[in-house]
């Protein structure tokens, strides 16, 4: 098998005849020229020619980008990523999972409380979870009323079918809410970043109990390479409130509630029951809550904890569970006396 490196090497045995196949001729004066652009550039004088250094949107063949060097790109990304890590190391609310419930929660908190730092962690490269398709490989997204009110708020169009509405493509909902969430200045999303553990500390509000005080995260590729608790030193994010929407059981699914069982903070999981659209969504929305001090759980992950029914390809319960979690998170945050991102006690009211 030819290696990637070998395919990039110049073969001096090639002749001028190979030029028509997209290769450079082997003449001495051309051997040191870059391999891009290929033979589609008819004039050899244009090969390797430096741009003018002035940006120009000329579609007649003179389109030119503003000048840049490789280290400009590297610094632009690393500086902002480093600044983000520094700033979000202490957050106000952490959201685990960037599917439809996590996005709905993030949007609702950021809109209601623009003063709170909201940090979202998503194990996948593409945020949105299962909300890019309505169900199986079909496009349309079904949302039962009254969750259509949330679609109106977001400005997502739909067809009204009476007791439910249909968005023509689930990606329309997901791309709309994702763009709105990311436009909030108080929201930071880390995708391709897995939650490996929960930070647990003694609860100052309930003597003898533990509370969740943040998360331990790592790049997903590192976590996959070394197991859910990797040997690579991870990053920690402290926050007084964590909302988890890690979905149903899987490699990263239901992570927070499974970790609660492993640490003894919860006796056992109820395990998600079979699909029943008639009752599942109402149950999950109404049961979305703080399951242990500092940790709110909703969506399909809550089904695994409570032993509730699966919802199927009906998304109203996911949207409303995220909204309910946002309400609970704001109430919790407002009830705490917080010092450096940690709960020091209850807030004293006059």
Q: Is 226 labelled as part of a ligand binding site?
A: no
Closest CA to 195 of 132, 258, 281, 270: 258
Beta bridge partners of 238: 90, 214
Q: Is 192 labelled as part of a ligand binding site?
A: no
CA gap 219, 99 in Å, rounded: 18
HEC per residue, the chain? CCCHHHHCCCCCCCCHHHHHHCCCCCCHHHCCCCCCCCCCCCCHHHCCCCCCCCCECCCCCCCECCCCCHHHHHHHHHHHHHHHHHHHCECCEEEECCCHHHHHHHHHHHHHCCCCCEEEEECCCCCCHHHHCCECCECCEEEECCCHHHHHHHCCCCEECCCEEEECCHHHHHHHHHHHHHHCCCEEEEECEEEEEEEEEECCCCCCCEEEEEEEEEEHHHHHHHCCCCCCCCEEEECCEEEECCCCCCCCCCHHHHHHHHCCCCCCCCCCEEECHHHHHHHHHHHCEEEECCEEECHHHHHHHHCCEECCCCCHHHHHHHHHHHHHHHHHHHHEEEECCEEEEECCCC
Q: Is 130 labelled as part of a ligand binding site?
A: yes
Cα 339–Cα 340–Cα 345 angle in degrees, nearest 5: 25
Q: Is 195 labelled as part of a ligand binding site?
A: yes
Q: Is 300 labelled as part of a ligand binding site?
A: yes
CA gap 142, 315 in Å, rounded: 6
CA gap 290, 288 in Å, rounded: 7
Q: Is 101 labelled as part of a ligand binding site?
A: yes
CA gap 111, 98 in Å, rounded: 17
Q: Is 249 labelled as part of a ligand binding site?
A: no
Q: Is 310 labelled as part of a ligand binding site?
A: yes
Closest CA to 326 of 95, 109, 107: 109
Q: Is 233 labelled as part of a ligand binding site?
A: yes
Which residues participate in the annotated binding site for substrate? 101, 122-123, 130, 195, 233, 248, 300, 310-312
Which residues participate in the annotated binding site? 101, 122-123, 130, 195, 233, 248, 300, 310-312
């Amino acid at each position: 098998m030819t290696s990637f490196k070998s395919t990039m090497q110049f073969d001096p045995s090639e002749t001028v005849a190979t030029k028509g196949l997209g290769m450079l001729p082997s003449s001495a004066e051309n051997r040191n020229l870059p391999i891009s652009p290929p033979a589609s550039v008819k004039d050899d004088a244009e090969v390797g020619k430096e741009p003018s250094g002035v940006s120009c949107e000329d579609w007649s063949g003179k389109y030119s980008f503003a000048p840049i060097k490789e280290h400009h790109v590297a610094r632009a990304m690393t500086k902002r990523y480093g600044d983000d890590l520094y700033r979000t190391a202490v957050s106000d609310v952490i959201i685990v999972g960037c599917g439809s419930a996590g996005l709905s929660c993030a949007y609702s908190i950021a809109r209601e409380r623009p003063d709170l730092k909201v940090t979202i962690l998503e194990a996948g490269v593409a945020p949105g979870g299962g909300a890019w398709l309505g169900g199986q490989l079909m496009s349309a997204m079904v949302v039962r009323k009254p969750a259509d009110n949330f679609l109106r708020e977001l400005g997502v169009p739909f067809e009204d079918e009476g007791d439910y509405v249909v968005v023509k493509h689930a990606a329309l909902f997901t791309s709309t809410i994702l763009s709105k969430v990311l436009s909030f200045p108080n929201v930071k999303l880390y995708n391709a970043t897995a939650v490996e553990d929960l930070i647990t500390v003694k609860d100052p509000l309930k003597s003898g109990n533990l509370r969740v005080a943040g998360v331990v995260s790592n790049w997903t590729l590192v976590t996959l390479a070394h197991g859910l608790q990797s040997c690579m030193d991870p990053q920690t994010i402290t926050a007084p409130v964590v909302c988890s929407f890690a979905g149903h059981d899987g490699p990263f699914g239901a992570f927070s509630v499974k970790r609660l069982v492993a640490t003894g903070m919860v006796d056992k999981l109820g395990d998600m029951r079979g699909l029943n659209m008639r009752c599942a969504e109402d149950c999950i929305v109404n049961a979305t809550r703080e399951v242990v001090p500092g940790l709110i759980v909703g969506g399909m992950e809550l089904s695994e904890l409570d032993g509730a029914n699966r919802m199927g390809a009906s998304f109203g319960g996911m949207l409303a569970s995220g909204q309910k979690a946002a309400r609970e998170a704001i109430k919790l945050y407002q009830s705490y006396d917080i010092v450096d991102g940690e709960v020091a006690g209850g807030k004293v009211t006059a």
